[in-house]
Amino acid sequence: MSDGLSRFRLPLLIFSLLLLVGGSKLDAVRPVEGQVVALVIPVVAVLSGVGPFRDSDAPLRNLVFALGALVLVLAELGPYHVVFQDLVASPALPVLVLLGLSLVLAVTFEVAGAQRGLRSRLSAWLGLAIVFALYFPGHAAPQNLFGSVFAAFLVALFVGGGSGLFLGEFAVRRARR
Rounded mean pLDDT, 73-77 = 96
What band does 1 get if pLDDT is binned at 50, 70 and 90?
A: very low
Q: Are 158 and 150 in contact (CB under 8 A)?
A: no
Instruction: Count the Cβ atoms, other than its own, within 10 Å of residue 99.
Output: 21
d(CA 49, CA 69): 11
Looking at per-residue pLDDT, the higher value among 113 and 26 belongs to 113
Q: Whole-model pTM?
A: 0.87
Rounded mean pLDDT, 154-164 = 93
Rounded mean pLDDT, 133-148 = 90
Q: Are 140 and 82 in contact (CB under 8 A)?
A: yes
Residue 158 DSSP one-character state: I
Rounded mean pLDDT, 29-53 = 88
Residue 99 has what pLDDT? Answer: 96
Least confident of 16-30, 36-50, 147-161: 16-30
Report the Cα–Cα distance between both ends of the chain, in Å, rounded: 28
Least confident of 24-33, 34-43, 112-121: 24-33
Q: Are 139 and 173 in contact (CB under 8 A)?
A: no
CA 126 to each of CA 17, 31, 91, 141, 155: distance values in angstroms, whole numbers, following the listed order: 21, 26, 17, 24, 14
CA 146 to each of CA 5, 21, 84, 100, 136: distance values in angstroms, whole numbers, following the listed order: 28, 11, 15, 27, 11
